Amino acid sequence: MTDKIALITGASRGLGHALAEALAPDHHIVAIAKTSGALEELDDRIQAKGGSATLAPIDVTNRDAVAGICRAIYDRWGKIDLFAHCAIHGAPLSPLPHSAEKDLKKSIETNVVATSILITMVAPLLGDAGTAIFFDDPRAGQPFFGQYGATKAAQIALAKSWQAESRKIGPRVLIHQPDEMPTGTRARFFPGQAAHDLSTPQAEAEKVRALL
């Protein structure tokens, strides 16, 4: 097993899934997602390439579960080398006056509160030598993207603050804007868009791997 550890949220599909697979040759993957079946499929793909993974089928909004995973990582390895935060809630597109309060609450809990908690718990594991990466999707202020745009912008604002605070002392904090991909979230936002007009999660994962 490699001695490099990568903790990836949102690893069951989309960019998180592709990134976990791309990093598996030289990282042990700790994969977090809510969907057990998709995580098991990821594990099969990683093992087929000779890699290894630890599966954590939890919701990132569950503070106790996240704390448990971070404690388990510390007890087993003492650190992580990479934290890639791919988990996101894409609230349904809607005119803001017609947006549902439950979607706003879920967006805040997943995109903002969970990000802040993860940073708090992951920072000691990264130390001064690790790397954290966040993924921007600048929709703030666009029509119908009120809840998603606002909470995604807040998530990236947290990442930028951490980046500025850590620039001289570590860990390295990166913020990357991937090209548009045919993910499940994007399909809900833009149903019927032709996939051949977009990049792929696999291609974007290779770009991230090169960046790292």
Burial label for 85, CB within 10 Å (0-12, 13-18, 19+), is buried
By the 8 A CB rule, do 182 and 200 touch?
A: yes
The structural architecture, per CATH, of the domain 5-211 is 3-Layer(aba) Sandwich (3.40)
d(CA 29, CA 25): 10
* Residue listed under structure tokens 């032709």: 194
Local confidence pLDDT in tens for the 212 residues of the chain: 568 999 999 999 999 999 999 999 999 999 999 999 999 999 999 999 899 999 999 999 999 999 999 999 999 999 999 999 999 999 999 999 999 999 999 999 999 999 999 999 999 999 999 999 999 999 999 999 999 999 999 999 999 999 999 999 999 999 999 999 988 888 888 887 777 779 999 999 999 999 99
The residue ranges of every structural domain in the chain are 5-211
Strands 5-9 and 28-33: parallel
pTM of this structure: 0.95
- The pLDDT, as a whole number, for residue 27 is 97
d(CA 76, CA 71): 9
d(CA 141, CA 147): 10
Please enumerate in sequence order all residues whose Cβ is within 8 A of that of 149, keeping only pairs 6 or more positions apart, or say none.
Answer: 138, 139, 140, 141, 142
Phi–psi pair at 128, nearest 5 degrees: -100, -5
